[in-house]
Amino acid sequence: MVVRFPPGQALVQTVDFLTPVVDDPYRFGQIAAANALSDVYAVGGEPYAAMNVCCFPARTMEPGILAEILRGGLSKIHEAGAVLCGGHSVEDAEIKYGLSVSGAIDPAKIATNRGLRPGDLLVLTKPVGTGVLATAIKAGLPDAETLETLLHSWCARLNRAGAQAIRELNLTASTDVTGFGLGGHLLEMAAASGVTAELDLGAVPFLKEALDMAVLGLIPAGSIQNRNHYLQRTLVNPGLDELLTTLAFDAQTSGGLILGVPESKLSQVTAILTDVGDLASVIGRATTAGSQPLALV
């Protein structure tokens, strides 16, 4: 299929897919699609066209499950205002699904993870803890269905309002929060920008249910690995809660955006985000580069 591209726009191209984080195939399709679309939103772009990328055990699993996954993904493609242009599937022992996405962007209004400036406030658009929730769901706890509903409610949300804020207010710094966790992605953002990011753990919107599950030890191995890796380049104030420190690096699926926001633009960004039900949590600020790119305070 050939799709006409808007004149005067630049192309944003990305691909991402993942294994199921919830049991319901339709919800999984929505989450995986939202996760893939997020890479376009993170730079301020608008999704334009998408192609399915799918691995499925066709010989051992009902084809109706695949149909539900694809139906869930299509619902998010349509919600994003994009079109589905086909895709590719491979027979595999494990389910994997995602999208290859083409987006459009004004080349003069692109946000990157290199755009933080000293004094910028760090604004987060979704809560943290979905990695812990996914682990709890896989453990088959009695309230797994409730946890799955909570995880889906956030992970299937599109980050389009954050992209709107980038475009309308000419924000220069943004990244999405995924596998490296909040702390990992923030550290990489600060290092690329040549600043130090001060992360206020007390201001991070951790999901209460994730905190409860983490106390029981249901923390993903990937989150522990993130913490151990990134703490080597992080200043940690004495006396901080060890559990919260670990959850700051919880590996997220389809997490929110971290936006670098000049203080003069905070009220406008907050209005854009909260108008659609996103969070606008100020979790810290960028400062002049110190000895490490990330400081937990």
Q: Is 79 helix (H, G, I), strand (E, B) or coil?
A: helix
Q: What local confidence, expressed as pLDDT, does residue 141 receive?
A: 83
Q: What local confidence, expressed as pLDDT, does residue 1 receive?
A: 60
Could you list the beta-strand ranges (E) of the chain: 10-18, 46-56, 83-91, 96-105, 121-124, 173-176, 195-199, 234-236, 257-261, 281-288, 294-296
Q: Please, what is the average pLDDT of the chain? A: 96
Q: Beta strands 83-91 and 46-56: pairing type?
A: parallel
Q: How confident is the model over 18-62, as pLDDT tens digits?
A: 999 999 999 999 999 999 999 999 999 999 999 999 999 999 999
Q: What residue ranges define each of the domains in the chain, with the CATH number in brackets?
A: 10-105 (3.30.1330.10), 121-296 (3.90.650.10)
In which residue ranges of the chain is pLDDT below 50?
none
Q: What local confidence, expressed as pLDDT, does residue 159 receive?
A: 98
Q: How far apart are CA 279 and CA 33, in angstroms?
A: 20
Q: How confident is the model over 68-92, as pLDDT tens digits?
A: 999 999 999 999 999 999 999 999 9
With beta carbons less than 8 A apart as the criterion, state whether 250 and 227 touch: no
With beta carbons less than 8 A apart as the criterion, state whether 117 and 173 touch: yes
pTM: 0.95
